[in-house]
Structure 1
């Protein structure tokens, strides 16, 4: 077994009481199935690597833990991927009962280790594109009264149009919406995007 990382010890120690046995269990199963796995901290959470490649990571939150393999192909044969429920592939882990039995979990860890060693790149699921944002009537009316703003809005890619549309339509009060609408038209008349303050020149 590789040398334990004291930062992982500290992470587990400061985690909620319910989370400690879960994290200790996951850590033990990784080293049992893949003794050469190295411990480190990445993205402020315990991470395990093999041959310099990321194998898996785990994290503790206020009410649940999360655990997942870097390559999501690992573990799919052992019950599917619950990644939509929380970070990782095992959903919200609140007790050891939420994890596969030791033998099954270790088999998944070994599979993940083989994928990492082989250099297979992480598989990312393609996200469906968002539908085009529909500009509200008050924005269309305001733009039609300001040719410069209209030209800027029409030239924007869908994402930048969406930034303005969502900023205006998410206003909870009529006064806020009117203020945002006026500001949006003013900025667009100057050729500015919604987040122009944060964009690099």
Structure 2
């Protein structure tokens, strides 16, 4: 089942591009499925790529795009510093889809997915500083501060990142308060999703 007709109905100006991208993926031998509400193409049970459309572009998302050679220098990281493996190839309105090159990228992505051991994404090297709002909240709650220090580094990083990503001070304070509550309940930030 394809959700492509819904996508085309929403972005009719992208119809030709979306149909071409779909045809390229199918010609490479991938299976079409629906994941996250968008057309996703798999090969031997592994997610290879998705296609989507927006107001300003249509695009391909390669799930392991960071591992592609990108000879044409067309792949972009949509959220630099946050997204590790996914890469996008964007096509603006009216831009011709270079089918031969697109298929070459798709075939390389299929080859990359066949690897027995999935290589880990590049390690993040920048240090994340604890936001002042979280520091203040921990200073006001000594028990929470003690529990916070006992958490594994990955859990501490999750809390720090969660607060630091907020742009407004009020949001950072709200998030810091939420973190204190979860820490006192001895719950991880993302525990409810497990």
Q: Please, what TM-score do these two structures have when normalized by structure 1? A: 0.62
Aligned to 1:20: 15
1:12-91 matched pairs, under 5 angstroms: 12-32=7-27, 34=28, 36-72=29-65, 73-74=67-68, 76-84=70-78, 89-91=87-89
- Rg: which structure is higher? 1
User: Which residue number in structure 2 is paired with residue 113 of structure 1?
Assistant: 110
CA distance in 1 between partners of 2:159 and 2:48 (Å): 39
**Aligned-pair CA distance for 1:193:** 6.0
**Greater mean alpha carbon deviation, residues 152-161 or residues 44-53:** 152-161
| Alignment counterpart, residue 95 of structure 2, candidates 90, 94, 97 | 97
**What is the CA RMSD across the aligned residues, in angstroms?**
4.4
Alpha-carbon distance in 2 for matches of 1:120, 1:180: 40
**Is the 1:74–1:109 Cα contact (8 Å) retained in structure 2?**
no
Deviation string, structure 1 residues 114-136 (Cα, Å, up to 9, x no partner): 334x3455555334154241546
Cα distance in 1 for residues equivalent to 2:184 and 2:79: 41
Residue 128 of structure 1 pairs with residue 124 of structure 2: yes
Shift of 1:80: 4.9
- Whether the aligned pair in 2 keeps the contact of 1:78 and 1:108 (CA below 8 Å) is no
CA contact (8 A) 1:83 1:91 kept: no
User: Could you say which structure has the higher strand fraction?
Assistant: 2
Give structure 1 stretches of 5+ with no counterpart. Answer: none
8 Å contact from structure 1 (residues 58, 65) kept in 2: yes
Deviations 1:53-80 (A, max 9, x none): 3332111234332202333233522325
- 5+ residue gaps, structure 2, are none
Deviation of 1:28 after TM superposition, in Å, equals: 1.9
Corresponding residue pairs, total: 183
TM-score by length of 2: 0.64
The Cα shift of 1:111 comes to: 2.2
